[in-house]
Structure 1
Amino acid sequence: MKKIVLISGLLAGLISVLGFALNVTNVVDFSNGMLVGYASMIIGFSLIFVATVKYRDNYYGGSITFSKAFLIGLYITLIASSVYVVVWLITYYFFIPDYLDKYTQHYLEGLQADGASLKEITDASAEMQGFKEMYKNPFLNALITYTEILPVGLAVSLISAAILQRKRLAL
């Protein structure tokens, strides 16, 4: 079990990293960055289905309980999320420390283009400054980053467990 979960978790994490890598390298602009990021997370977490089916069919004789299937997904989610967070922290602090400045500029320009009032823009600017302050602390930065990816993995784990659970046939 450990090998499949570890490999699936690492691969899911690397696939998820591709989403923000495309964003921070300007391959994808900020406008589509969230869509690409979450799409890459969902694609990465699809490995939960693959790993669960492999376990169910190869190790559990074709049956698996909801809780066991969910645990497989949870372990993969925790590994993938940790990969995502560690890579983000390294990328943010060593390669793109001005990322939030650029994102803030994009966000405020978007508000202005949408006709937001000066007060709304000022409030948004203050909120973004607060985020920049929080991101200076690696622990808070990591927690915020976990809140991006963990819910996606948990949702996929729940869906996967619900779909793939199979009770043992009584003889």
Structure 2
Amino acid sequence: MRHNILKYGVIAGLVVAAGMWGTLLAFRGDMPHGWLGMALGYLSMLVALSAVFVGIKHHRDVDRGGVVGFWPAFGLGLGISAIAAIFYVFAWELAQATVVGDFAGHYATAAIAQAKADGADAAALARLTAQMESFRLQYADPLFRLPMTFAEIFPVGVLVSLVSAAVLRNPRGLSARG
């Protein structure tokens, strides 16, 4: 089981890191903000975390003779998701150190510009500016940034693990061809 966690976790991690870097290269080092950035980010996460489903199915069909319980399958999925999330964190840290630069500053500027475009009053802009400055300072601290980055992808992995374990605990669900 550990071998499957490592193997499929590394596959998922490399795919999600490639998705992140592909987005960075497509947007010339600037991460898209708003709905486009979220859509691209979560789409690449879901594609990468399909390795959770494949890993659980492989474990069930090859290692367990076609039968796996919900909890062992869920645990396998969580392990794969954790490895993928660690790769995601390292990929983001590398991206920040090389091409992204001051992500928090760019994010804050974009949020304030969007609020202005939406017609926010001076008091709301002042509050948002203070919040964004606080965020920028917090984001500079790795003890804040690293867990926050991990928390972007890991809940998606938990959800994919839950669904995969629920589907694949049934031996007739996508059974191996014999």
* TM category, shorter: 0.7 to 0.9
Q: Give the corresponding residue for 2:12.
A: 12
CA RMSD, 1 decimal: 2.0
Where in structure 1 are there 5+ consecutive unaligned residues?
Answer: none
Deviation per CA, 1:111-155, whole angstroms, max 9, x where unpaired? 111122222222222112111111221121101111111111111
- 2:33 maps to which of 26, 30, 45: 30
The Cα of 1:23 is off from its aligned counterpart by 4.6
Structure-2 separation of matches of 1:165 and 1:150:
22
Percent of aligned pairs sharing the same letter: 33
Q: Give the corresponding residue for 1:140.
A: 144
Q: Give the corresponding residue for 1:3.
A: 3
Residue type of the alignment partner of 1:142: L
Structure-2 separation of matches of 1:131 and 1:14:
29
Residue type of the alignment partner of 1:29: P
CA gap of 1:22–1:119, structure 2 versus 1, over 3 A, is farther
Structure-1 separation of matches of 2:103 and 2:171:
49
- Count of residues paired in the alignment: 168
The Cα of 1:167 is off from its aligned counterpart by 6.3
Where in structure 2 are there 5+ consecutive unaligned residues?
Answer: 173-178
Determine if contact 1:89/1:138 at 8 Å carries over to the other structure: no
- TM-score relative to the length of structure 1: 0.88
- TM-score relative to the length of structure 2: 0.85
Residue type of the alignment partner of 2:33: F
Residue type of the alignment partner of 1:131: F
Corresponding position: 1:162 with 2:166: yes
